[in-house]
A and B are shown apart, each in its own frame.
Chain A
Amino acid sequence: MTLLSQTIQYALSGVTTGSIYAIVGICWSTVFLISGVLNFTTGEFAMLGGMLTWAYANAGMSLGLATGLAIVTSILVAALLERVVINPVRYPSETTYMLITIAAASVIKGIILLTYGTDARRIRPFLEIEPINIFGATLVPQVLVVLGVLVAVTLFLWLFFNHTLFGKALRASSINQIGASLIGIEIGRFRLFCFALAGALGAISGIAFAPISFTGYNLGFMVGVKGLVVAIVGGWTIAGTVAAGLALGLVEGFAAGYISTGWKDAIALSVMILFLVLQTVDLRKKFRKLQP
């Protein structure tokens, strides 16, 4: 393999994982911006989508039906989560929400583990065509599906939040939740909707990714953390999150290719810590101090 084809190969795998991070990051920011809940179960829905599709397909359903049912189940689980876990909290604070969703994530993970075991699962690719050759690098057709899903999700959310009345209302109510509830808007229902939306998007991303890499009960944790990294670095906006997701994917792809596979997660997380810490430093102020 030449250096060029190697580089293209790493970039392709980077873009693929990057798109998954971007979608999961969008799930984080959808829930966080509108309801103020930092939902740590986000990554688990990506796992849930892949695992449920595998389980339904394994039970004898066609792939399309299994996918649809997995998404519906994920939406139901997300809605149930909001009603049973988030809604009844009496003294809501950032800390409480964070801890309670971490607990919920471990419950979801544990239940999947109990039902389907620890084995890595794989579902059939959606596109049954031969891998494409680009300068010696192979492009698996499923990568196109993942990219298509990313574009579709981004477009859908952009249209939804900017060009529908309900989407605009959601954004408006997130600016001042107390004010919104004072004029008679039911915040709880909006939050329920956001959770369901994030559940669906997470499941879709997991399903799109499952034919490329194996899916297993412990997939959700790392994907969730990376999604959070991307959402924070992207400034909680859709465009920013997509850009940050692809960038993180590329960094990881190249780090895995040229440095070491084992260290790639550590590198991605170090980037996040550095980013967070550097944000607290006002560089312009420091430079002004240096000048006489």
Chain B
Amino acid sequence: MIPSREFPVNLSWLLFMLALGLLPLVLQSNYIISVMLMVALFGVLSIGMGLLLGQAGMFSLAHPTWFGLGAYIAAILSVRGLTSPLLGIFIAALCVAVLSWLIGAPILRLRGFYLANATFAMVVIAQIAAGQLPKLTGGHEGLLGIPYLTIGGFVFKKDLHFYYLSWTLCIACFWFCSNLMNARLGRAIRSFHDNESASSSLGVNIPRYKLQIFVLTAVMASLSGSLFCFYLRFVTPESFGFPLLVELIMMVIIGGIESIRGALLGSFVVLWLTEFIHAYLGKVLPAMTGEVDAIFFGVLIILVLIFMPRGLIGWVEPILNFSRRRDERL
């Protein structure tokens, strides 16, 4: 196997994993752990979104829908007692894979902002459907009574358990995606991002690879969504709509649209900034909490897009690469 460039077993990555593993032991704060586990879950989403937007150049905004479907299918199956929670997660992933394949095949014929509009409409439709089918989904009040996630007799109850579980998923997705980008699929994706006609004249089957990466990122989002629903043990249609989409776009843009690491960094930065805004601006503007970040992050996206088109990762990358030899960095 060709060693991957984005996920090498090098010093900086070992340090990163070590820090992640030790973090809950050093800082025994439930608050930090709960935010960090959200960073991991949203990181999975933003990695997928970054792959589509940045690497493949496919302007698909359907991610919140896959996330929501993953959450709802797993939740409904386990609430009704049809399957165990763990099996529910895999069934949800399978359903999302089939569904995204069926939807992706016609919809990926669209390009540019037409694709964006169609997938965006899908997000709105899915949200309306979740609200309008109260018998199945619990409607706008949300679905309650989701059981604890159990894997092999071990019950995931505390934030700490979910912290390790979600970071395992996140690192696995990260590792998978970064290897993928150097495999056949990844090279094909990057080639048609730059020029579709040129790459198809070289024999790249563009529709097939587009569909593959679409389904793949949808499954990732679904897995993350299932974990999300078992962590909160509560799902509402509101958590999978336009606000989540804007949040994901923020993560991808602020982190850096052209790199997988950027997407993960974006998830970290955006979630922690949100926390800080709520903590500090809440005192200045006590009436508003959730709505202030819309203004703040809107301005931030505009500034990043104007002044730093490559995102934060353009600054951080040299630091992450400190352990490599100079010639390797190029």
Chain A residues within 8 Å of B, Cβ to Cβ: 38, 85, 88-91, 94-96, 98-100, 102-107, 109-111, 113-114, 221, 225, 228-229, 232, 260, 262-263, 265-266, 269-270, 272-273, 276-277, 280-281
For the complex, what is the distance from the CA of A191 to the CA of B329, rounded to whole Å? Answer: 42
Q: Which of B74-82, B104-112, B167-175 contacts A (4 or more CB under 8 A)?
A: B104-112
Q: Which residues of A contact B114 (CB under 8 A)?
A: 232, 276
Partner of B294, one of A91, A106, A273: A106
Q: Is the CB of A99 within 8 A of B305?
A: yes
Q: Which residues of A contact B7 (CB under 8 A)?
A: none
For the complex, what is the distance from the CA of A89 to the CA of B110, rounded to whole Å? Answer: 26
The bracket for how many chain B residues form the interface is 35 or more
Q: Which residues of A contact B320 (CB under 8 A)?
A: none
Closest chain B residue, CB of each to CB of A109: B294
Q: Is the CB of B59 within 8 A of A272?
A: no
For the complex, what is the distance from the CA of A272 to the CA of B124, rounded to whole Å? Answer: 12
Q: Which residues of B contact A106 (CB under 8 A)?
A: 246, 294-295, 297-298
For the complex, what is the distance from the CA of A225 to the CA of B242, rounded to whole Å? Answer: 12
> From residue 107 to 132 of chain B, which have CB atoms closer than 8 A to chain A?
107, 109-110, 112-114, 116-118, 120-122, 124-125, 128-129, 131-132
Partner of A277, one of B109, B131, B292, B295: B109
Q: Is the CB of B117 within 8 A of A114?
A: no
Q: Is the CB of A263 within 8 A of B116?
A: no
Interface SS of chain B: helix, strand, loop or mixed?
helix
Q: Which residues of B contact A105 (CB under 8 A)?
A: 298
Interface string of B297-320 (1 = CB under 8 A from A): 111011001100100000000000
For residue B249, CB closer than 8 A to chain A, the reply is yes
Q: Is the CB of B118 within 8 A of A273?
A: yes
Chain B residues within 8 Å of A, Cβ to Cβ: 53, 59, 106-107, 109-110, 112-114, 116-118, 120-122, 124-125, 128-129, 131-132, 242, 246, 249, 253, 285, 288, 291-292, 294-295, 297-299, 301-302, 305-306, 309
User: A276-B114, A277-B107 are known contacts. Are A99 and B125 too (CB-CB below 8 A)?
Assistant: no
Q: Is the CB of A262 within 8 A of B302?
A: no
Q: Which residues of A contact B291 (CB under 8 A)?
A: 110, 113-114
For the complex, what is the distance from the CA of A102 to the CA of B131, rounded to whole Å? Answer: 24
For the complex, what is the distance from the CA of A225 to the CA of B128, rounded to whole Å? Answer: 14
Q: Is the CB of A277 within 8 A of B106?
A: yes
Whole-angstrom distance between the Cβ of A109 and the nearest chain B Cβ: 7
Whole-angstrom distance between the Cβ of B98 and the nearest chain A Cβ: 19
For the complex, what is the distance from the CA of A270 to the CA of B129, rounded to whole Å? Answer: 12
For the complex, what is the distance from the CA of A99 to the CA of B305, rounded to whole Å? Answer: 9
Q: Is the CB of B116 within 8 A of A98?
A: yes
Partner of A280, one of B109, B297, B299, B305: B109
Q: Is the CB of A232 within 8 A of B117?
A: yes
Q: Is the CB of B295 within 8 A of A107?
A: yes
Partner of A91, one of B112, B125, B128, B309: B309
Closest chain A residue, CB of each to CB of B257: A95
For the complex, what is the distance from the CA of A114 to the CA of B287, rounded to whole Å? Answer: 9
Mind listing 21 A-B residue pairs with CB under 8 Å?
Answer: A94-B113, A95-B59, A100-B305, A103-B246, A103-B301, A106-B246, A106-B294, A106-B295, A106-B297, A107-B294, A110-B298, A113-B291, A113-B294, A114-B285, A225-B120, A225-B121, A266-B125, A276-B118, A277-B106, A277-B110, A280-B110
19 additional A-B pairs beyond A270-B125, A273-B107, A281-B109, beta carbons within 8 Å, are A94-B112, A98-B59, A98-B113, A100-B301, A100-B306, A103-B246, A104-B298, A104-B302, A109-B294, A111-B295, A229-B117, A229-B121, A232-B114, A265-B125, A266-B125, A269-B122, A273-B122, A276-B114, A277-B110
Closest chain A residue, CB of each to CB of B121: A269
Q: Which residues of A contact B107 (CB under 8 A)?
A: 273, 277
Closest chain B residue, CB of each to CB of A118: B291
Partner of B242, one of A89, A90, A221, A260: A221
Q: Which residues of A contact B288 (CB under 8 A)?
A: 113-114
Q: Is the CB of A273 within 8 A of B132?
A: no
Q: Is the CB of A114 within 8 A of B295?
A: yes
Q: Which residues of A contact B116 (CB under 8 A)?
A: 98
Whole-angstrom distance between the Cβ of B293 and the nearest chain A Cβ: 8
For the complex, what is the distance from the CA of A229 to the CA of B113, rounded to whole Å? Answer: 12
Q: Is the CB of B298 within 8 A of A107?
A: yes
Q: Which residues of B contact A260 (CB under 8 A)?
A: 132
Q: Which residues of B contact A229 (CB under 8 A)?
A: 117, 121
For the complex, what is the distance from the CA of A94 to the CA of B57, rounded to whole Å? Answer: 11
Q: Which residues of B contact A273 (CB under 8 A)?
A: 107, 118, 121-122
Q: Which residues of A contact B59 (CB under 8 A)?
A: 94-95, 98
Whole-angstrom distance between the Cβ of A186 and the nearest chain B Cβ: 20
Q: Is the CB of B297 within 8 A of A90?
A: no
For the complex, what is the distance from the CA of A74 to the CA of B59, rounded to whole Å? Answer: 30
Q: Is the CB of B125 within 8 A of A95?
A: no
Whole-angstrom distance between the Cβ of B27 and the nearest chain A Cβ: 33
For the complex, what is the distance from the CA of A109 to the CA of B298, rounded to whole Å? Answer: 10
Closest chain A residue, CB of each to CB of B126: A266
Whole-angstrom distance between the Cβ of B257 and the nearest chain A Cβ: 8
For the complex, what is the distance from the CA of A176 to the CA of B95, rounded to whole Å? Answer: 46
Closest chain B residue, CB of each to CB of A117: B287
Q: Is the CB of B305 within 8 A of A266?
A: no
